[in-house]
């Protein structure tokens, strides 16, 4: 988006593309056709201390409003351009060759990060898309349910954009499929209430109106169940929906004095051990017994739409190498 301009081109300091304006020539004692024969112009007389009519209060107000409008438009353009550049950089990082799971195994994170015990409940787990909660926290959900802790989930979007552009009917079918996959996956983890489906648009959770609605939905659920803890995607995950979900959860938790933990999803793909972009000083691990890990693997297998190729020559959203990051004997949270 460019700054608005007049029909004859932008005006800067009284100049048009074709040369000095009448006002600039008047300021120099000239008329549009050359020097005046009758003496100084109105502007020159004003400079000499003679009376001259200036802009009215209404004209000054209108001018100020135009300046404010242009400033607002410029600020909006800068924000939009910055957001677009950030999205492009994030997409490039996620689309690039990821870190091999062997490199993460060699880092021996459980030997270097604090170990947490299962939190008290009720626990509310937030997801941006149907599968995030299982990828990032599914093993701990299963362990909590096994320990008798109350767990609730909220899914902010239906993930209808995971296969790229499509007709409205195709997206609706994919949304319905992904909801069904999530319900089946959660049943693999144990008995818990049906998810709260917010139905916000996939890939647009970071728009202010959607993020605000997400915050309200999360806050309402936290209050309704008397949550002792909220767990949500990490705000630094590079996926704009994940980051928006994390911010919404943090704000909702702060408003209700509910602690918030964050789980990474795409971080394991684009980061590396000791990566300075990751706040390791706030990270901790939750060990998972083998039966719980098996439950998580069974749950992940339910997301067939994300595990299968999306078309001829188009890789799955979650290839085998990506799933390997999420089937470890522990899960990692950032507090």
Question: pLDDT, tens digit, for every residue of 191-224?
Answer: 999 999 999 999 999 999 999 999 999 999 999 9
Task: Give how far Cα 227 sits from Cα of 155, 318, 331, Å.
Answer: 16, 31, 21
The mean pLDDT value for 257-267 works out to: 98
pLDDT of residue 33: 44
pLDDT at 22 over 50: no
**Rounded CA gap, 174 and 164, in Å?**
11
The H or E element containing residue 31 is strand 30-31
> How many CB atoms are located within 10 Å of the residue 201 CB?
15
At residue 162, the pLDDT reads 96
Of 69-83, 92-106, 235-249, minimum mean pLDDT range: 69-83
CB burial readout 136-170, b (16+ within 10 A) else e: bbbbbbbbbbeeebbbbbbbbbbbbbbbeeeeeee
Q: Is the pLDDT at 20 greater than 60, yes or no?
A: no
d(CA 43, CA 46): 5
Alpha-carbon distance 288 to 137, whole Å? 11
Q: Tell me if the bond preceding 56 is cis, omega within 30° of 0.
A: no
Instruction: Determine the 3-state secondary structure of 330 from DSSP.
Output: strand
Cβ neighbors of 125 (< 8 A, separation 6 or more) are 133, 137, 141, 151, 152, 153, 154, 230, 231, 232
15 confidence band (pLDDT: 50, 70, 90): very low
The whole-angstrom separation of Cα 239 and Cα 261 is: 17
Tell me the CA end-to-end span of the chain in Å, nearest whole number. Answer: 39
What is the per-residue pLDDT across 28-67, written as a single tens digit (0 to 9) for each? Answer: 433 444 444 444 444 444 444 444 455 666 666 666 666 5
What does the mean pLDDT of the chain come to?
Answer: 84
Tens-place pLDDT, residues 323-332: 999 999 999 9
5-19 burial, b at 16+ Cβ within 10 Å, e below that, comes to eeeeeeeeeeeeeee
Contacts of 103 (CB under 8 A, 6+ apart): 272, 273
- Is 182 in contact with 172 (CB distance < 8 Å)? no
pLDDT of 57: 66
Which residues of the chain are in CATH 3.40.50.10320 domains?
101-334
**pLDDT, position 42:** 42
Options 3.40.50.720, 3.40.50.10320, 3.20.20.70, 3.30.110.30; which CATH number does 101-334 get?
3.40.50.10320
Which of 328, 325, 211, 215 is CA-nearest to residue 271?
325
């Amino acid at each position: 988006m460019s700054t608005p301009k007049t029909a004859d081109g932008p005006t800067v300091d009284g100049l048009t593309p074709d040369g000095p304006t009448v006002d600039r020539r008047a300021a120099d004692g000239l008329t549009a056709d050359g020097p005046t024969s009758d003496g100084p112009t109105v502007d020159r007389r004003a400079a000499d201390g003679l009376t001259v009519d200036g802009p009215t209060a209404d004209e000054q107000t209108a001018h100020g409003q135009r300046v404010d409008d242009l400033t607002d438009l410029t600020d909006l353009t800068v924000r939009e351009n910055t957001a677009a550049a950030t999205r492009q950089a994030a997409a490039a990082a996620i689309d690039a060759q990821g870190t091999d799971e062997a490199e993460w195994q060699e880092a021996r994170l459980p030997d270097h990060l604090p170990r947490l015990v299962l939190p008290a409940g009720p626990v509310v787990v937030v997801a941006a898309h149907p599968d995030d909660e299982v990828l990032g926290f599914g093993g701990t959900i299963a362990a909590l349910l096994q320990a008798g802790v109350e767990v609730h989930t909220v899914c902010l979007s239906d993930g209808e954009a995971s296969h790229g552009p499509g007709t409205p009917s195709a997206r609706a079918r994919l949304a319905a499929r992904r909801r069904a996959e999530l319900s089946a996956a959660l049943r693999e983890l144990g008995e818990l209430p049906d998810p709260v489906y917010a139905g916000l648009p996939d890939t647009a959770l970071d728009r202010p109106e959607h993020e605000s609605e997400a915050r309200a939905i999360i806050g309402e659920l936290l209050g309704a169940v008397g949550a002792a803890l909220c767990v949500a995607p990490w705000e630094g995950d590079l996926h704009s929906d994940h980051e928006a979900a994390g911010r919404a959860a943090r704000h909702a938790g702060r408003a209700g004095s509910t602690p918030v933990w964050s789980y990474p999803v795409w971080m394991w793909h684009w980061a590396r051990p000791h990566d300075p972009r990751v706040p390791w000083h706030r990270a901790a691990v939750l060990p998972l017994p083998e039966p719980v890990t098996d439950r998580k693997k069974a749950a992940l297998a339910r997301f067939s739409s994300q595990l299968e190729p999306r078309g001829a020559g188009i890789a799955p959203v979650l290839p085998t190498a990506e799933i390997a990051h999420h089937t470890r004997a522990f899960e990692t949270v950032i507090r």
